[in-house]
Amino acid sequence: QEQLIESGGGLVQAGDSLRLSCAVSRRTFTSSAVGWFRQVPGKEREFVAVFNWDGGDAYYTDSVKGRFAISRDRAKNTLYLQVNNLKPEDTAVYYCAACARPYYSGGIYCTIEDDYDTWGQGTQVTVAS
C-alpha cells in the first residue's frame, strides 16, 4: 500500500503563494489518481483537486480554478499543489490521498472522500488577512 506524506504548508499573508508537496513512498504507484482535500475544524473534508497519475490531466473544484495548479515530478514520485493568491478562506489542513476508484476525466470519480483509501497526515495552511 502506498504511503503519502504532505509538506509545504505554513503561515502566509493573503495574496501569497505556497507549493504543497505530496511524496508517494512506493516506487510503483498503483492508484489511478491522487487527490487533494482540505479540512477546517468542525467541517467535513472538502475536495480541492485530483490528478490523473497516468494521463497527467487534473480536475479542480470551482472555488480554486485559476488559482491552484497540480504538477508532478515522476522521477521523485511527488505531486505538487501550487496555491496562488491565497485567501483567508483557504485556511485549512490540506491532505493528499490515493483514489481507490478508476479515474475518468471530468470529475466522475475521485472527487469525494469515500473514493479514497490511503491518506497522508496533512499539512496546515494558514492565511492571514
Query: Dihedral angle at the C-alpha atoms of 76, 60, 94, 35, nearest 10 degrees?
Result: -50
pLDDT for 21-54, tens place per residue?
A: 999 886 556 788 999 999 999 999 999 999 998 8
Mean pLDDT of 112-119: 94
For residue 40, the model assigns a pLDDT of 96
Across all residues in the chain, what is the average pLDDT?
92
Burial of 91 (0-12, 13-18, 19+ CB in 10 A): middle
pLDDT at residue 122 above 70?
yes
pLDDT at residue 62 above 60?
yes
